[in-house]
Amino acid sequence: MMTIDQYTDLYGIVGFPLGHSLSPGMHNTAFRAVGLNAVYLAFETREINDCLRGMRALGIKGLSVTLPHKSAVIPLLDKVEDRAKRIGAVNTIVNSNGRLKGYNTDAVGALRSLQGVVDLPKRRCLIVGAGGAARAIAFMLKELDCELIIANRSKERGEELAASLGCPFVPLDEIKDIKTDLIIQTTSVGMHPDIDQCPVPENLLRKGTTVMDIIYNPLETKLLKLAKKNGCRTISGLGMFIYQGAEQFRLWTGLEAPVEVMTRAVKRALKNTL
């Protein structure tokens, strides 16, 4: 049994809508596993200014930040780490004695998920999508001297990201002849309930290519099914989700996150929501 008393530390997630967010279950399981007197709640809100005032006033120790607040929160913070500044998105806030600092743990999450499956430096990578997650992953891969190509449905957003990385942009409907070592799918196409959709043409899925989808619901998207069928190595979005959360846990508590316990909790929750 966990105790909630005057010493309990409060954490949470802010976003709108939050839907079936898996973060509360994951973080509360982690707190309990390492014996911390802390709770993590879901705050579904459009009012990011008021949220941060509340965080300061109530001494909330840490927040996860999700859509639509990841960029809007930046000017409200006392400090933002360089990586999050470059990405233009904060997904984690740490409150140290009233000073709020913003971080982006998506890049670390993606990196840890890719490590062990693919030898990253200097790979030729196709990133599908140009939203916040794509930006986080693309800047991380650029730091590892990967050769990047950005593919996106809307030209403006794709070209903007490609220009900030100094790499080529290809419209999503023209990617069928691109040769790559690694494909990273960052759009919402194929996510539950639209599980029969796949944004990548099958002829791009050649043997020897590694394909990562950042979607984790379902765990095996149509893209990953096709990739597996064609002899590609595949990586689901579960690892990135867990590892970005593990990095948040480390930033908030200074402790290594109990990754296995967190993974089990998220898998269980996914089974229940499907």
Residue 98 beta carbon to ligand ATR: minimum distance, rounded to whole angstroms: 29
Residue 70 beta carbon to ligand ATR: minimum distance, rounded to whole angstroms: 7
Residue ranges in the chain assigned as alpha helix (H)? 23-34, 48-58, 82-87, 106-114, 132-143, 155-165, 222-229, 238-253, 259-273
CA 256 to chain CA centroid, Å, is 19
By beta-carbon proximity to ligand ATR, the closer residue of 237 and 258 is 237
Catalytic residue among 61, 70, 222, 225: 70
Burial string for 201-225 (b: 16+ CB within 10 Å, else e) reads eeebbeeebbbbbbbbbbebbbbbe
- Return the residue of 64, 95, 186, 234 that touches ligand ATR, per CB under 6 A: 186
What is the rounded distance in angstroms from the CA atom of residue 136 to the CA atom of residue 58?
30
Q: Does 157 bind ligand ATR (CB under 6 A)?
A: yes
70 is catalytic: yes
Site string for ligand ATR, 97-136 (x = CB under 6 A): --------------------------------xxxxxx--
Residue 157 beta carbon to ligand ATR: minimum distance, rounded to whole angstroms: 4
By beta-carbon proximity to ligand ATR, the closer residue of 100 and 133 is 133
Residues 194-233 that bind ligand ATR (CB under 6 A): 199
Q: Does 187 bind ligand ATR (CB under 6 A)?
A: yes
| Residue of closest CB approach to ligand ATR | 131
Q: Residue 165, by phi and psi: left (phi above 0), alpha (psi -120 to 50) or beta? A: alpha
DSSP designation for 257: -
By beta-carbon proximity to ligand ATR, the closer residue of 113 and 186 is 186
CA 235 to chain CA centroid, Å, is 14
Number of helices and strands in the chain (H, E): 9, 12
Size of the site for ligand ATR (CB under 6 A): 16
Q: Does 154 bind ligand ATR (CB under 6 A)?
A: yes
Q: Does 88 bind ligand ATR (CB under 6 A)?
A: no
CB 187 within 8 A of CB 237: no
| Cβ-proximal residues to 59 (8 Å cutoff; 6+ apart), any chain | 10, 95, 98
Output the CA angle 218-224-227, nearest 5 degrees.
170
- Return the residue of 92, 104, 113, 152 that touches ligand ATR, per CB under 6 A: 152
Question: Which positions are annotated as active-site residues?
Answer: 70
Residues that bind ligand ATR (CB under 6 A): 129-134, 152-154, 157, 172, 186-189, 199
